[in-house]
């Protein structure tokens, strides 16, 4: 059996590990822009081949797959989906795990995703407004918007989102100015080069609560939900600093438990079920809307909010990174068999099993990440880890002339497992300390992710959001927002 993996980041290293663990012992091939040292090893030991090239070029991917004569292709990242790589493969009769162009709209256009969610009245929908130009948005920002999230209307490499809390009237002028300026840079900078969506800017209401990612495999007919994972976007300890692609993620059991034998959890079983329902409804809606089958992974990037309980922040048309490392480490079922079931549209016959143990992933990054990647790039990596528990996933790291150089983003994702999240966190933490850069350029990681204090705070936050949304639910007010605007009357949204 031959499998071609598209993409070369930490997520793809996790997929590669999972695929090569299969009893079918596939020969692994990989295609990515940089040679990932971890995937390279797996490719070599399985007798496959590593190709270096443009993963977003459907013709090129098809040619490589054709040349190898693969049994199926697994597309890791989102951009090949947006560029129609799965579509082209399917046309050529090459089976593919990856959302096609039409259904990946769920992730690609954040505006379409919300349109869909509102059209089909799917729970957990945030109030939003979309704009074609910056000028269109200005009067709106001036007049109405208070605490909001400003987003590029298209998925733009996870960059450009700004959340501004604006309820302190005495600071309003300064905050509105930054909102205007950021809205302008979203349209003029972050969306530059992405000409494939009508809307350019999205403004959403700002909500609070613990965030979590729920991944599902789907063959278009049924969904196979995975354990919930919590990713952490702030660059620095204590949830401080810029938004990143994710500095680390935690999981335990299906619903983010504190530990295997622990009653505490961030998400309740009921909330887990509701979240699965939401993702299932999103898949059904996008299929109905586009008349296309979804073969691959869908993820809801969710938040437990006081307004709705489980709420959709964004949708992924692939596995999250670093969350992929969590779910695939926990997956006990053969990934190759799951892929074959998706291709054959018989996913309902698979009874997937997941390990209950806690998994904590922490990313090690070069200083400069996320906003000054030119400074973060090109530093030789020094590794000093003792063999023991835990494993590593290579991410933005390139193997050149026997050396591993930083690519400017997260270098490596350290994976720890244990009977509780804090225990797994210590394993990941120890691994993180084994990475440095030969030229003395600094690296950083988040030591707080998965610690006891961290978990207690997340659980406290979840309890707080839960208390409010459950109260609203009892009152029949779930998802409803009411405003009394003097002179205009009662405005209801929801």
Partner 1 sequence: MAGILGIYLFDERWDVYNFGVFGLMALQHRGQETVGLEVVGKSRGKVEGEGLVDQVLANNKAAGHICLGAVSPYPASNGEIQPIKLSENVSVAIDGKILKIEGYQWDSMLSYEGNLRRAFKGESVEDLKEFFSRCRGGFSYIALNGKPEMVAGRGDLGVKPLVLGKMGFEGGIVASESCVMDIIGERVPISPAENIEPGETRIFTPLSAHAERLRNCNKRAHCSFEYVYLARPDSYINEIPVYRVRRRIGEILAEEGSVEADVVIGVPETAIPFAMAYSNSTGIPVEKGFELTGRRVRSAMKPNQIERLKGVQLKLNVISEAVRGKRVILIDDSVVRGNTLANIVYLMKEKGAKEIHVRIGSPHIVSHCPFGVEVPPEDELIGRHLPEDKIAEVVGADSFRYLSIEGFVEATGLKFEDLCLGCFDGNYPEV
CB count within 10 Å of CB 118 equals 13
CB 461, min distance to partner 1, A: 5
DSSP 191-245: TTT--S-S--EEEEE---S-EEEEEEEE-SS-EEE---BEE--EEETTTEEEE-S
Residues 401-430 that bind partner 1 (CB under 8 A): none
* Closest to 303 in 3D by CA, of 336, 248, 256: 256
Residues 121-140 that bind partner 1 (CB under 8 A): none
* Closest to 444 in 3D by CA, of 376, 374, 360, 359: 376
238 binds partner 1 per the rule CB under 8 A? yes
CB 238, min distance to partner 1, A: 6
91 binds partner 1 per the rule CB under 8 A? no
Member of 242, 383, 482, 493 binding partner 1 (CB under 8 A): 242
Member of 164, 426, 477, 478 binding partner 1 (CB under 8 A): 164
281 binds partner 1 per the rule CB under 8 A? no
171 binds partner 1 per the rule CB under 8 A? yes
Member of 54, 208, 268, 273 binding partner 1 (CB under 8 A): 208
DSSP state, residue 473: H
* Residue 143 neighbours by CB under 8 Å, 6+ apart: none
174 binds partner 1 per the rule CB under 8 A? yes
Within the chain, how many helices (H) and strands (E) appear?
15, 27
User: Strand runs (DSSP E) across 50-192, as ranges?
Assistant: 50-52, 72-75, 96-97, 128-131, 148-152, 162-164
Helix (H) or strand (E) holding 394: strand 391-394
167 binds partner 1 per the rule CB under 8 A? yes
CB 14, min distance to partner 1, A: 26
CB 468, min distance to partner 1, A: 9
Total residues in contact with partner 1, by rule CB under 8 A: 38
User: Strand runs (DSSP E) across 252-376, as ranges?
Assistant: 296-305, 309-316, 358-366
Q: Which residue has the tokens 């002028």?
A: 173
177 binds partner 1 per the rule CB under 8 A? yes
Select from 135-143, 176-184, 250-258, 418-426 the region that touches partner 1 (CB under 8 A). 176-184
CB 114, min distance to partner 1, A: 21
CB 157, min distance to partner 1, A: 16
Member of 39, 89, 235, 328 binding partner 1 (CB under 8 A): 235
188 binds partner 1 per the rule CB under 8 A? no
Select from 90-98, 164-172, 340-348, 486-494 the region that touches partner 1 (CB under 8 A). 164-172
- Partnered with residue 164 across adjacent β-strands are 148
Q: Which is nearer to partner 1, 242 or 483 (CB)?
A: 242
DSSP state, residue 101: T
Regarding beta strands 2-6 and 27-32, do their DSSP bridges make them parallel or antiparallel, or are they unpaired? parallel
Distance (Å, whole) CA 336 – CA 345: 14
Helix (H) or strand (E) holding 321: none
* Closest to 255 in 3D by CA, of 298, 302, 325, 308: 302
346 binds partner 1 per the rule CB under 8 A? no
461 binds partner 1 per the rule CB under 8 A? yes
308 binds partner 1 per the rule CB under 8 A? no
CB 368, min distance to partner 1, A: 6
Member of 2, 154, 182, 295 binding partner 1 (CB under 8 A): 182
Binding site for partner 1 (CB under 8 A): 162-165, 167-168, 170-171, 173-174, 177-178, 181-182, 208, 233-243, 367-368, 371-372, 375, 442, 444, 457, 460-461, 464-465
């Amino acid at each position: 059996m031959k499998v071609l993996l598209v993409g070369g980041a930490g997520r793809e290293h996790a997929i590669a590990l999972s695929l090569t663990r299969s009893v079918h012992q596939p020969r692994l091939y990989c295609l990515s822009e940089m040679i990932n040292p971890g995937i390279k090893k797996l490719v070599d030991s399985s007798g496959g081949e590593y190709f270096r090239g443009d993963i977003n070029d459907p013709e090129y991917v098809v040619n490589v797959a054709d040349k190898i004569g693969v049994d199926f292709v697994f597309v890791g990242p989102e951009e090949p989906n947006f560029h129609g790589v799965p579509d082209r493969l399917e046309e050529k009769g090459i089976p593919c795990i990856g959302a096609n162009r039409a259904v990946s709209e769920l992730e690609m256009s954040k505006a379409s995703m919300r349109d869909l969610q509102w059209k089909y009245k799917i729970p957990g929908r945030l109030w939003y407004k979309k704009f074609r130009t910056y000028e269109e948005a200005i009067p709106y920002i001036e007049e109405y918007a208070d605490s909001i999230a400003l987003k590029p209307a298209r998925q733009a490499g996870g960059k450009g989102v700004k959340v501004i809390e604006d309820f302190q009237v005495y600071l309003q002028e300064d905050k509105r100015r930054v909102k205007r300026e950021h809205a302008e840079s979203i349209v003029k900078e972050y969306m530059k080069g992405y000409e494939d969506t009508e809307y350019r800017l999205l403004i959403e209401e700002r909500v609070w609560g613990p965030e979590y990612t729920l991944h599902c495999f789907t063959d278009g007919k049924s969904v196979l939900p995975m354990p919930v994972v919590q990713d952490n976007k702030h660059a620095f300890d204590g949830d401080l600093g810029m938004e990143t692609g994710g500095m680390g993620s935690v999981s335990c059991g299906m619903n983010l438990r504190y530990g295997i034998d622990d009653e505490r959890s961030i998400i309740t079983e009921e909330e887990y079920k509701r979240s699965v329902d939401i993702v299932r409804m999103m898949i059904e809606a996008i299929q109905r809307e586009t008349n296309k089958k979804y073969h691959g992974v869908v993820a809801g990037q969710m938040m437990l909010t006081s307004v709705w309980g489980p709420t959709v922040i964004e949708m992924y048309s692939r596995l999250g990174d670093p969350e992929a490392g969590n779910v695939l480490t926990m997956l006990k079922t053969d990934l190759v068999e799951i892929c074959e079931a998706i291709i054959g549209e018989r996913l309902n016959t698979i009874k997937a099993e997941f390990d209950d143990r806690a998994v904590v992933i922490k990313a090690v990054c070069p200083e400069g990440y996320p906003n000054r990647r030119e400074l973060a790039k090109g530093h030789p990596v020094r590794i000093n880890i003792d063999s023991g528990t835990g494993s590593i996933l290579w991410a933005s790291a390139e193997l050149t002339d026997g050396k591993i150089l930083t690519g400017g983003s997260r270098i490596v994702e350290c994976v720890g497992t244990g009977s509780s999240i804090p225990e797994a966190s210590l394993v990941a933490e120890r691994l993180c300390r084994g990475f440095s850069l030969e030229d003395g350029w600094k690296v950083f990681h988040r030591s707080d992710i998965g610690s006891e204090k961290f978990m207690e705070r997340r659980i406290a936050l979840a309890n707080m959001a839960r208390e409010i949304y459950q109260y609203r639910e009892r009152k029949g007010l779930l998802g409803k927002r009411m405003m009394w605007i003097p002179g205009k009357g009662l405005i209801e949204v929801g």
